[in-house]
Amino acid sequence: MQHKYQAVADNLRAAIQSGQYEDTMLLPTEQALCQQFQVSRQTVRLALSLLASEKLIERRQGSGSHILEQGSPRRLTVAVVTTYISNYIFPSILREIETVLAANNAAPTLFSTQNQVSTERRILQSLLDGARPDGILVEGSKTGLPNPNLDLYRALIDAGIPLVFMHGDYNRLPGSLSVLDDNYGGGQQLVEYLYRKGHKAIAGIFKNDDIQGLQRYAGYADALRDLGLPLEDQQVYWYNTESKGDLLDNDESWAAVDRVINSCTAVVCYNDEVASRLISYLLKKGIRIPKDMAVVSFDNSQYSELSPIGITSLSHGDYNVGQMAAELLVRRLRGEECTSEVAPWFLIERQSS
């Protein structure tokens, strides 16, 4: 069944191609189009976004929808908003995003929030106030906490700008799409793997201000319960964005972690960065890995191979969240029917377990 916005786009496309607007090279205003087709403004904006993705029109803030001369296609602009740009897994994600966008006549503009809600707000406001992008790929900041920036996300959606979230999303933002890790399933998978290895006391280290950490903990905790293993609060160590630096850089911060894991024989870590740092700390103390302590993790990043002992870690295999998100956004810009996606995990076994 054809959606209303596609019918509106079909009518406008035919009118453009017949030369109906060649005198002004402008489409009617959104309000006029709403009255002409008896549809909502959101439907009109979706139709205009579809025509823009086909390079029939260019939407310019303050001056309406300009009809483009055929043969001179406009390059699409995509804002890529991530928590970080240069460290951990983000370079590979950004490379895949750039590859997909370049193949579809689109160019990314990069923004980094440093996982700070205040910085995220300034970036979103600038996207609303300036030359608006055709689409946005975004990794939300501190997705495990209530976000005061949902008003700006809604304003972008209401402006007809497609949004695709990566890694985490917001349930209160209908109209957005997402590409997520199977974090809950990953937490379960790691605990079940350790259980098959004979471990009965399994600690956890998780980040509590991003939704990935909460979901990974939920899978970890449910797996312990379902396997009849002890789930003790004192065997879980929590950290956040602000305490991450101390945890990674300062041996003294690991004293608290030591108290959490010392009665266990295995640890599930939030990611490879933390797991690699934990392994270095344990080796300094003379703890043998994996004989005294097994360590497993998420992301199968460069840390899993460069760690003093190779880390058993969950990988997305041929799936890349950046590639999947960029391809999803491109399809959405073309007006295709789209649904959110989940990237599955595959276990890569190394020496740490």
Judged on CB neighbours under 10 Å (0-12, 13-18, 19+), 345 is: buried
The whole-number average pLDDT for the span 291-308 is 94
The whole-number average pLDDT for the span 39-52 is 88
CATH 1.10.10.10 for domain 4-67: yes
Tell me: pLDDT of 44 over 80. yes
Omega into 108 within 30° of 0, i.e. cis? no
pLDDT of residue 268: 98
Average pLDDT value over all residues in the chain = 91
Tell me: pLDDT of 210 over 70. yes
Tokens of 87: 């460290």
Q: What is residue 16's three-state secondary structure?
A: helix
CATH architecture of 183-315: 3-Layer(aba) Sandwich (3.40)
Tokens of 107: 């160019």
Domain edges within the chain: 4-67, 76-181+319-343, 183-315
Alpha-helix runs per DSSP H in 38-85:
41-53
Distance between CA 353 and CA 345 in Å, rounded?
17
Looking at domain 76-181+319-343, its CATH class is alpha beta
What's the whole-model pTM score?
Answer: 0.79
Distance between CA 254 and CA 277 in Å, rounded?
10
pLDDT tens per residue across span 73-126: 567 899 999 998 877 778 888 889 999 998 888 889 999 999 999 999 999 999
279: left (phi over 0), alpha (psi -120 to 50) or beta: alpha
pLDDT tens per residue across span 138-193: 999 999 999 999 999 999 998 889 999 999 888 778 778 999 999 999 999 999 99
The whole-number average pLDDT for the span 201-222 is 97
What amino acid occupies position 115?
N
Beta carbons within 8 Å of 232's beta carbon, 6+ residues apart: none
Distance between CA 85 and CA 80 in Å, rounded?
10
Tell me: pLDDT of 72 over 60. no
Among 339, 236, 350, smallest CA distance to 304 is for: 350
What amino acid occupies position 296?
V
Q: How many CB atoms lie within 10 A of CB 23?
A: 7
Least confident of 19-33, 232-246, 271-285, 310-324: 19-33
Tell me: pLDDT of 321 over 60. yes
Q: What is residue 232's three-state secondary structure?
A: coil
Among 156, 147, 183, 333, smallest CA distance to 268 is for: 183
Tell me: pLDDT of 3 over 80. no
pLDDT of residue 248: 84
pLDDT of residue 73: 58
Q: Is there a common fold for 4-67 and 76-181+319-343?
A: no
Q: What percent of the chain has pLDDT over 90?
A: 62
pLDDT of residue 96: 92
